[in-house]
Amino acid sequence: MTKLRNSVGERIRAIRKAKGLTQQQLAELSGLDDAYVGSLERGERNFSIDTLEKIVVALNVPVQDLIMSIDNDKESMLRRNALDEYSEIINNLKTKEIVIVKNILKELRRAFD
């Protein structure tokens, strides 16, 4: 069962970093101890649904973002980390800016096809 716990911990860390938060900042936002947050990220602790909810609320992400595929190949992890960073960037944009970014990404995709 530790594979899922480790995967969730890695996702918490990746999303926290993508949002530019320290463990201490996440701890403050979630009402948890910063040492406890660190142990969650390392997969050292079993955690309750209530704790998971605190983390999800503090990170402002849907719970499914933490419980994704537990494959740990390098390409999947790189893709997930990039999506975390892009999501954080897009969350701070206005609708018109999102449309522009979307169009730029479409053009980039065409360039690689």
**What whole-number distance in Å separates Cα of residue 11 and Cα of residue 14?**
5
User: Using CA atoms, how far apart are residues 73 and 50, in angstroms rounded to an integer?
Assistant: 29
Locate 5 and state its tokens: 């716990």
**Domains with residue ranges and CATH for the chain:** 2-112 (1.10.260.40)
| Helix/strand/coil percent split, the chain, to 5 | 75, 0, 25
Token code pair at residue 85:
């960073």
Torsion angles phi and psi, residue 58, rounded to 5: -65, -40
Distance CA 42, CA 9 (A): 6
For 6-38, what is each residue's pLDDT tens digit?
Answer: 889 989 998 999 899 999 999 999 999 999 999
Give 37-92 pLDDT, tens digit per residue. 999 999 998 899 999 999 999 999 988 888 765 556 778 778 877 888 888 888 88
